[in-house]
């Protein structure tokens, strides 16, 4: 009986060491995987920031910003950013105020990341577009005639902000008469 207890104790000690080493190994593996993911995210963010900085310094983006700045007295209802260009629609009166096509501006190449980067830059450079209670950013799908699927980005004026802007515009019009 004593031999069985000694054998059981030896097996218990070996199993305890095995469990402890397995737990330690799992902790080391999962920690290293977490560190690798964090490193990848940091490098991806740095690459995105470099790409955004490079696009911000291009002449085409500067021209787009200059043309958007000319629309400062209008209430912009929607901004569509696609791989073909940027279209801006005003809220009142509702019409297309700006059609900025990349091919006409000298950029003939369609790049899927270019539209996303332009939308990100517009959101960073224009504070009103970044406010969630004023404009909503959404991604939408575009099917071209050749069957290709592309994505565009839309900044749309929210209902509450549109109502407030309309009331402000209406009060301004009432003062004139």
pLDDT, tens digit only, all 177 positions of the chain: 667 667 666 766 666 655 566 667 777 788 889 999 999 999 999 999 999 999 899 898 999 999 998 888 888 889 999 988 899 998 877 788 888 988 888 877 778 888 899 999 999 999 888 888 889 999 999 998 988 899 999 999 888 888 887 887 776 665 555
| pTM assigned to the model | 0.72
Name, in order, each residue with C-beta under 8 angstroms of 155's C-beta and a sequence gap of 6 or more: 76, 78, 79, 81, 119, 122, 123, 129, 135, 136, 137
Is there a contact between 135 and 155 (Cβ–Cβ < 8 Å)? Answer: yes
Which ranges constitute the DSSP H helices of the chain?
2-56, 59-69, 112-125, 127-130, 159-176
């Amino acid at each position: 009986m004593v031999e069985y207890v000694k054998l059981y104790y030896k097996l218990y000690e070996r199993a305890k060491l095995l469990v402890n080493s397995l737990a330690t190994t799992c902790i080391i593996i999962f920690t290293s995987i977490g560190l690798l993911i964090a490193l990848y995210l940091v490098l991806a963010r740095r690459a995105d920031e470099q790409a955004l900085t490079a696009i911000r310094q291009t002449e085409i983006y500067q021209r787009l910003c200059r043309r958007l700045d000319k629309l400062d007295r209008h209430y912009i209802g929607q901004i569509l950013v696609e791989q073909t260009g940027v279209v801006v629609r005003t809220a009142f009166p509702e019409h297309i105020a700006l059609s900025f096509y990349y091919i006409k501006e000298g950029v003939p190449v369609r790049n899927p990341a270019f539209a996303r980067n332009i939308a990100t830059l517009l959101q960073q450079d224009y504070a009103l577009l970044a406010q969630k209670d004023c404009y909503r950013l959404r991604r939408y799908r575009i099917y071209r005639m050749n069957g290709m699927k592309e994505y565009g980005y839309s900044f749309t004026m929210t209902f509450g902000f549109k109502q407030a802007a309309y009331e402000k515009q209406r009060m301004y019009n009432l003062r004139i008469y």
